[in-house]
A and B are shown apart, each in its own frame.
Chain A
Amino acid sequence: MMVLAVTLGIFLVVAGLLFYALIRYRHRPGDSNREPAQVYGSNQIELAWTVIPILIVMMLFLTTTRVILGTQAVPKPKDALNVTVIGHQFWWEYRYPQLGVVTANELHVPVSDPAHPTPTYLEMSSADVVHSFWVPRLAGKTDLIPNRVNTMWIDPAQSGLYLGQCAQYCGMQHAKMLIRVYAQSPADFAAWVNQQKKPARQNFAGDPAAAEGEAVFMHNACINCHTIGGTVSTGRFGPDLTHVASRDTIASGAVPNTPQNLRKWIDDPDSLKHGSLMPSMHLNAHDLNAVTAYLTQLR
């Protein structure tokens, strides 16, 4: 705020002087053709407009440093939640090491009560190229860089959905590497954690389509890239699908998570997000319906 006031002040003064000078000293039609008095400079004036800006700069610098140290050197509270964020082309992997939860693209965090702060500390890295985690209403951005761990923390005071997205150009679908942060009350958050910790549903006795879909899934290349807890599917290249049906969106926030979209996504990912690294699996219509039915059961 102070920066804004200072820069606005400078702007008004200098722009005012500029326009005053232009109008006051314009060449008027009736003027004589004599050249105006030639002034070559003045050391006192030069000194004045060197020293004053230096003082302003020192002031701005000191306040900035105070904020930088304030943000980067805050002690971490004991109740802080740790989340490991891993950037991928073009989606986000979130791992909660204290809770044993792994999810993708939709980050759930508890709302923090000022009396008992429970901020979320993010440890960030990248699996491929440089990304940047930016949720404007929660915090500034921090880059996710391969071979390097950066940290930042967020401390939302109000529950709700916070939107953000990748802020460092990372390839074809940089634009649709969206972030959704759900800040939840401690009770809601605990309920979400409990549900995520349950193993994926195993028994599809009453649901033949889903049971068949599971078989199709496990016999295709899907398992090379995706993990579904408790099955042979343990790939790490794509998002964890153990509880995929509990998420509101697919394709990193590109489209709502409806059975139609899910089917379209499995059939032809490029139609929803051109250039995403998920290949089309070339399943026939029957298998497509089955896999869709299976995935919609993974709550």
Chain B
Amino acid sequence: MSTTTHAVEEIAETQALPHGHPPLNVVYEWLTTCDHKKIGLMYIGYALIFLLVAGVEAMLMRIQLAIPNNHFVSPQVFNQLFTMHGTTMVFFVGMPILFGFGNYLVPLMIGARDMAFPRLNAFSFWISAFGGLLLYFSYVGASGLYAAGSAPDVGWFAYAPLTAKVFSPGHSTDYWTLAIFLSGVGSIGTALNFVSTILCMRCKGMKMSRMPLLVWLYLVTSCLVFVAVSPLTAAQIMLTLDRYLGSHFFDTQAGGSAVLWMHFFWIFGHPEVYILVLPAFAFVNEIIPVFSRKAIFGYPAMVAASVGIGFVSLGVWAHHMFTVGLGATANSFFVFATMVVSVPTGIKIFNWLATIWGGKVIFATPMMFCVGFLFQFLIAGLTGIMLSVAPFDWQLGNSYFVVAHFHYVLVGAILFALFGAFYYWYPKITGRMLSETLGKWHFWLFLIGFHLTFDFMHIPGLLGMPRRIYTYEAGRGWGGWNFLVGIGAVIQAIGLLVFVYNLVRSYFKGQEAGHDPWDAWTLEWSTASPPPAYNFAVEPSVNSRRPLWDLKHPEDPDSDYE
């Protein structure tokens, strides 16, 4: 055993030999790295930068909408803002940040030294990153900054035929198409990597039935990426063919079909929500048990529910198309499928509740964000059930009610879980704790801002305000609500800045974390913080779902009960 350790340390030392002089060698190292942890961190850093950019876009929109008949930005700029905000948040914040955490955590949690295909991993990151840069180059390209460039303005779901050359001349749509294409290639590569890693690289004793739930959820998410992202990526090529080589897939003026694009987009678009939310479930699955000091309740049911959500989510896309006129039979099918998703989702919520039940809940910042997640996800799920009722959707689809609903999922659930994950794993990644005081400030500011924004955003929707309008008349009764929503956005922005400050400050001044600051039970806490390049000096060997529990409680190990 000790010989292995020596050999590994020697390898690590050879790898650490500098190429060139600082700081160039550091840059060189990051640019050429194939280490899953470094790639994971690059994903997270890149996503955080885009989070701030897309957040600024959201703020500009809220300023424009705060009062009726506002002239803060022109209609064209506004249309570009919501297109860029949506596209960025989904493709260049949500996906990369979740892939980043997955990259960092999955190999550590299954006791592996890296992903199955480290070079593919680096390729996937760089190609996605290039997609994001290309999308934003549209602001500088073409007519330049003075004319606010030619940023895409077709909406994040870019309905055909608005994207046809006739209706969208110039290159703005091409920037969008190519950026999504590149991001799609990267996502599929990463998904392939996750599946291979999880299936082939588990350490000794880590049967599928002993994997941490986080790993299970990344497996399901990756499978969803295959099925959902591939059609979207293909559709980008079809759209480009339409625009430049005279094909007519979506070109309605030559007999193409606008509805075809909707199907292509939403067979991606709805599973995409689950691609984003399943990793959020994954974080919560790890955090709630540790801070309740109890094993997760109903592990097999949780796995079944995750896989179930994955399957059912592939059959719900046309609930985005209830107003297209698909007919009563098709509509009823998608109503049913959409409602059925709530069953496995409900099982998850109940199991989290049961995990808390009878525990000793410690309200550290990660747990507080998870409680916020649970509460908001419950509401988001219930407004989701309301929207799944097609007649309700005929009224409220594409209104601000829908905008509020999906931001409840994306911000209230996913972003809250992500913040929890940051506070929980930051000590592992940097070796230092994030400040709890600043964390509490961040939590409360963000919680209040969130509710101010997104609770009140439901109301103009109920009053008939459609989404994606750059302004509205004073007489419609939407003004006051939008003003409140704007105030909430400012409070959220302050909360976010506190978080960023906390990330930076704690890196230098945070309290030392040690291996296992939370007294947790999964494998990543058994190695140093930050983990060495080779992760584990010796390949771990596990006997249960909570290997560190077994070590800490030899008198009452989990392995006795499984």
A7 within 8 A of B: yes
B259 within 8 A of A: yes
B554 within 8 A of A: no
A163 within 8 A of B: yes
B106-165 residues with Cβ-Cβ distance < 8 A to A are 153-155, 159-162
With A39-B294, A40-B299, A49-B350 known as contacts, the answer to whether A18 contacts B325 (CB < 8 A) is no
CB pair B360 A143 closer than 8 Å: no
A85 within 8 A of B: no
Contacts of B339 in A (CB 8 A): 57, 60-61
Q: A48 — nearest CB in chain B belongs to which residue?
A: B350
Contacts of A141 in B (CB 8 A): 323, 394-395, 397-398
Distance between B62 CB and nearest chain A CB, rounded to angstroms: 16
Distance between A111 CB and nearest chain B CB, rounded to angstroms: 21
Contacts of B255 in A (CB 8 A): 147
A53 within 8 A of B: yes
CB pair B358 A36 closer than 8 Å: yes
CB pair A146 B360 closer than 8 Å: no
A71 within 8 A of B: yes
A94 within 8 A of B: no
Please measure, in the bound complex, the distance between the C-alpha atom of A111 and the C-alpha atom of B74, giving whole angstroms.
39
B292 within 8 A of A: yes
Please measure, in the bound complex, the distance between the C-alpha atom of A37 and the C-alpha atom of B379, giving whole angstroms.
31
Distance between A275 CB and nearest chain B CB, rounded to angstroms: 6
With A11-B378, A136-B395, A141-B398 known as contacts, the answer to whether A41 contacts B340 (CB < 8 A) is no
Contacts of A46 in B (CB 8 A): 298, 301, 347, 351
CB pair A25 B356 closer than 8 Å: yes
Kindly identify which residue among A45, A68, A69, A140 contacts B354, using a CB–CB cutoff of 8 Å. Answer: A45
CB pair A11 B162 closer than 8 Å: no
Contacts of B79 in A (CB 8 A): 169, 171-172, 174
A118 within 8 A of B: no
A170 within 8 A of B: yes
B469 within 8 A of A: yes
Among A50, A130, A169, max chain B CB count under 10 A is at A169
CB pair B385 A7 closer than 8 Å: yes
Please measure, in the bound complex, the distance between the C-alpha atom of A61 and the C-alpha atom of B379, giving whole angstroms.
20
Kindly identify which residue among B327, B342, B397, B471 contacts A175, using a CB–CB cutoff of 8 Å. Answer: B471
Contacts of B323 in A (CB 8 A): 132, 140-143, 167-168
Q: A23 — nearest CB in chain B belongs to which residue?
A: B361
B507 within 8 A of A: no
CB pair B391 A67 closer than 8 Å: yes
CB pair B398 A11 closer than 8 Å: no
Kindly identify which residue among B343, B359, B471 contacts A57, using a CB–CB cutoff of 8 Å. Answer: B343
Kindly identify which residue among A27, A36, A53, A68 contacts B391, using a CB–CB cutoff of 8 Å. Answer: A68
CB pair A175 B470 closer than 8 Å: yes
Contacts of B4 in A (CB 8 A): none
Q: B363 — nearest CB in chain A belongs to which residue?
A: A26
Kindly identify which residue among B340, B375, B464 contacts A164, using a CB–CB cutoff of 8 Å. Answer: B464
CB pair B397 A25 closer than 8 Å: no
With A14-B349, A49-B347, A61-B335 known as contacts, the answer to whether A166 contacts B466 (CB < 8 A) is yes
Contacts of A49 in B (CB 8 A): 346-347, 350
Distance between A59 CB and nearest chain B CB, rounded to angstroms: 10
CB pair B379 A145 closer than 8 Å: no
B-contact 0/1 string along A123-142, CB 8 Å cutoff: 00000111010101101111
Distance between A32 CB and nearest chain B CB, rounded to angstroms: 9
Please measure, in the bound complex, the distance between the C-alpha atom of A138 and the C-alpha atom of B339, giving whole angstroms.
27
Kindly identify which residue among B75, B258, B353, B469 contacts A145, using a CB–CB cutoff of 8 Å. Answer: B258
CB pair B332 A129 closer than 8 Å: no
Contacts of A174 in B (CB 8 A): 79, 468-469
Please measure, in the bound complex, the distance between the C-alpha atom of A77 and the C-alpha atom of B295, giving whole angstroms.
63
CB pair B300 A72 closer than 8 Å: no
Please measure, in the bound complex, the distance between the C-alpha atom of A37 and the C-alpha atom of B294, giving whole angstroms.
7
A169-227 residues with Cβ-Cβ distance < 8 A to B are 169-175
A50-77 residues with Cβ-Cβ distance < 8 A to B are 50, 53-54, 57, 60-61, 64-65, 67-69, 71-73
Distance between A143 CB and nearest chain B CB, rounded to angstroms: 5
With A41-B300, A57-B343 known as contacts, the answer to whether A15 contacts B375 (CB < 8 A) is yes
Kindly identify which residue among B162, B332, B469 contacts A130, using a CB–CB cutoff of 8 Å. Answer: B162
Please measure, in the bound complex, the distance between the C-alpha atom of A72 and the C-alpha atom of B325, giving whole angstroms.
10
B90 within 8 A of A: no
CB pair B75 A163 closer than 8 Å: no
Contacts of A18 in B (CB 8 A): 353, 356, 371, 374-375, 378
Please measure, in the bound complex, the distance between the C-alpha atom of A71 and the C-alpha atom of B354, giving whole angstroms.
42
A31 within 8 A of B: yes
A115 within 8 A of B: no
Please measure, in the bound complex, the distance between the C-alpha atom of A167 and the C-alpha atom of B469, giving whole angstroms.
9
Kindly identify which residue among B331, B359, B464 contacts A36, using a CB–CB cutoff of 8 Å. Answer: B359
With A4-B386, A68-B390 known as contacts, the answer to whether A21 contacts B295 (CB < 8 A) is no
Kindly identify which residue among B252, B293, B397 contacts A35, using a CB–CB cutoff of 8 Å. Answer: B293
Contacts of B259 in A (CB 8 A): 145, 148
Contacts of B509 in A (CB 8 A): none
Distance between A60 CB and nearest chain B CB, rounded to angstroms: 6
Q: A59 — nearest CB in chain B belongs to which residue?
A: B339
Distance between B40 CB and nearest chain A CB, rounded to angstroms: 31
B357 within 8 A of A: yes
Distance between B556 CB and nearest chain A CB, rounded to angstroms: 8
Please measure, in the bound complex, the distance between the C-alpha atom of A53 and the C-alpha atom of B308, giving whole angstroms.
15
Contacts of B244 in A (CB 8 A): none
With A129-B162, A143-B324, A175-B75 known as contacts, the answer to whether A57 contacts B466 (CB < 8 A) is no
Q: A165 — nearest CB in chain B belongs to which residue?
A: B466
Q: A133 — nearest CB in chain B belongs to which residue?
A: B323
The 9 closest A-B pairs by CB, nearest first: A140-B394, A175-B469, A41-B298, A136-B464, A146-B252, A150-B325, A7-B382, A27-B360, A169-B468
Question: Which residues does B use to contact A, with CB under 8 Å?
Answer: 74-76, 79, 153-155, 159-162, 167, 252-253, 255-259, 292-295, 297-301, 323-325, 327-328, 331-332, 335-336, 339-340, 342-343, 346-347, 349-351, 353-354, 356-363, 371, 374-375, 378-379, 382-383, 385-386, 389-395, 397-399, 463-464, 466-472, 476, 553, 556, 558, 561
8 residue pairs from A and B, CB less than 8 Å apart = A25-B358, A41-B351, A49-B346, A60-B385, A65-B328, A129-B159, A141-B397, A169-B467
Known A25-B360, A145-B259, A171-B162; 6 more pairs at CB < 8 Å: A22-B356, A38-B556, A68-B331, A68-B390, A141-B394, A175-B469
